[in-house]
Chains A and B, each alone.
Chain A
Amino acid sequence: MPDILSATAAGQQTDARAASSLLPLAVTGLAWSAGGQRLVDGIDLALGDGGVTVIMGPNGAGKSLLIRLLHGLLEPQAGQIAWNGQQAGEATRARQAMVFQKPVLLRRSVAANVDFVLRLKGRVDAAVRDGLLEKAGLLAKARQPARALSGGEQQRLAMVRALACQPEVLFLDEPTASLDPASTQAIEEMVRDARKDGVKILLVTHDMGQARRLAHDVVFIHRGRVAEHTPAADFFDTPASSPARDYLAGKIVL
């Protein structure tokens, strides 16, 4: 990506990071309930700079809620989310980006979808846009309606759009859940590139292979709590918690 984002843009990003990084992240006593159920039930979590943190756990464990809370899309009902001391909210969200399981694309051309984000960030630049699309293999389809793309291409475009924000933290909510292996690989390639550029990545996935390929550390969520937070090297072979052990052994974890 450095050759795509112009040198000045990359420089600015580094400056901003040096000035006040969003990381480390410190979460304490985070809770969120709906319909009388505590869906996030007292989460404590500390994340350091860089790398890919994979968030795993059964459906309904609170993974998606957790990243929405971290991104500032939802207000915590209890507890604290501190991005390097700064409360999660408008200001921290502006330095982050999120890709959803189902890509939400504007009813416009592929190029216009990227331009929309670049305009928001105040740096409309056809060269930057084309560079990002080129890298994702979408440049030839720049003029096509975004919603006529295949599922894999749509998700790649959603990734491009997220990266066009030059995020310091990138949230990915099961981005490859409904994609075939080739499309999954393309997305993972983009994730690796972003990570190399120093973007902190929080990835929610059910795909064990994907977690093994990308994770530096794994947060296993069970019933709204952190069952364990373990380096990837240890997690897959010697998980510390029994829900994670059962999950990895292929048992049904409820």
Chain B
Amino acid sequence: MQDFAEAFRLAFQLVWQMDDELAAIIGLSLRVSLTAVAISALIGLPLGAALATMRFRGRGAVLVLVNALMGLPPVVVGLLVYMMLSNAGPLGFLQFLYTPTAMIIAQAILITPIVTALSRQVLEDLNSEYAEQFASLSVPWSARIQALVVDGRYGLLTVLLAGFGRAVAEVGAVIIVGGNIAHLTRVMTTAIALETSKGDLALALALGIVLLSIALAVNAAVMSLRLTAERTAHA
């Protein structure tokens, strides 16, 4: 029990002092996950908008597939990306394995379905409200998509925050394709896994506290976005 309390004391001390190693791990985590979110936004938002506004054969099947992919297990994504990027794999020549780039790729694959499916929902709700008015005004397709994205901006930001939350907290994919190499590909979650198995609970806890704080901050941001949207009557 004393060890436990001691671990917490040390953890808070580490966070407070924020030594270089800790800062580097947190920095890499944020860089990898934010980049992955940006990439998944570039792919997922247009896909979500297309699914929300277009009617085509097989649309139902695509929706089921995208919704199912939201639950992709990170280790499976890690395994697949590993196979693609390993020297024997089709993209092995890129030499991305065990680099932050590989981690970004894996996380982007993991959260693109989330961004696609959730933004599809946000935009489809909005589209069903606007559709008849837009038809009356003969709004061209591109302008319609643009209007939906602009008017759905608060909802879409919430979607991106959800994607970020998922990316920054996952460990399975980044540990396989990143390798958890110190000062190179070690992020918060992989460091926690390692330090816990080594018995260095203080560092693991310190990182856990930072991760929890980030989760809290993300949720607070989502909540305040929602309040802002309501206050300005955008909801």
CB of A233 to closest CB in B, whole Å: 32
Q: B38 at the A/B interface (Cβ < 8 Å)?
A: no
CB of B177 to closest CB in A, whole Å: 40
- The interface stretch among B27-35, B136-144, B219-227 is B136-144
How many positions in chain A have a CB within 8 Å of any CB in the partner chain? 21
B233 contacts A147, CB within 8 Å?
Answer: yes
Interface of B is mostly: helix
Task: Tell me the complex Cα distance, A84–B113, Å.
Answer: 50
What are the residues of chain B within 8 A of A165 when measuring CB–CB?
137
A100 contacts B133, CB within 8 Å?
Answer: yes
How many positions in chain B have a CB within 8 Å of any CB in the partner chain? 16
Q: Give A137-168 interface residues, CB cut-off 8 Å to B.
A: 145-148, 165
CB of B52 to closest CB in A, whole Å: 16
Q: Give B131-161 interface residues, CB cut-off 8 Å to A.
A: 132-133, 135-139, 143, 147, 150-151
Q: A69 at the A/B interface (Cβ < 8 Å)?
A: no
A107 contacts B132, CB within 8 Å?
Answer: no
Task: Tell me the complex Cα distance, A165–B135, Å.
Answer: 14
Q: A16 at the A/B interface (Cβ < 8 Å)?
A: no
Residue of B nearest to A71 (CB): B136
What are the residues of chain A within 8 A of B232 when measuring CB–CB?
145, 148
Task: Tell me the complex Cα distance, A107–B135, Å.
Answer: 18
B233 contacts A104, CB within 8 Å?
Answer: no
What are the residues of chain A within 8 A of B139 when measuring CB–CB?
120
A100 contacts B132, CB within 8 Å?
Answer: yes
A148 contacts B143, CB within 8 Å?
Answer: no
- The interface stretch among A24-32, A89-97, A182-190, A203-211 is A89-97
Residue of B nearest to A145 (CB): B233
Task: Tell me the complex Cα distance, A165–B133, Å.
Answer: 13
Q: How many A-B residue pairs have CB under 8 A?
A: 41
Q: B93 at the A/B interface (Cβ < 8 Å)?
A: no
Residue of B nearest to A98 (CB): B136
Q: A106 at the A/B interface (Cβ < 8 Å)?
A: yes
Q: Give A66-91 interface residues, CB cut-off 8 Å to B.
A: 71, 73, 90
With A100-B133, A120-B143 already in contact, the answer to whether A107 and B138 are too (CB < 8 A) is no
Q: B234 at the A/B interface (Cβ < 8 Å)?
A: yes
B135 contacts A148, CB within 8 Å?
Answer: no
Task: Tell me the complex Cα distance, A147–B232, Å.
Answer: 8
CB of B235 to closest CB in A, whole Å: 8
B129 contacts A104, CB within 8 Å?
Answer: yes
Task: Tell me the complex Cα distance, A147–B150, Å.
Answer: 15
Q: A128 at the A/B interface (Cβ < 8 Å)?
A: no
CB of A19 to closest CB in B, whole Å: 20
B137 contacts A107, CB within 8 Å?
Answer: no
A90 contacts B138, CB within 8 Å?
Answer: yes
B110-133 near A? 1/0 per residue, CB < 8 Å: 000000000000000000011011
What are the residues of chain A within 8 A of B234 when measuring CB–CB?
107, 145, 147
For the complex with contacts A93-B136, A104-B129, A108-B150, 12 further pairs of A-B residues with Cβ separation under 8 Å are: A73-B135, A90-B138, A96-B136, A100-B133, A104-B130, A106-B147, A106-B151, A107-B233, A116-B147, A145-B232, A145-B234, A165-B137
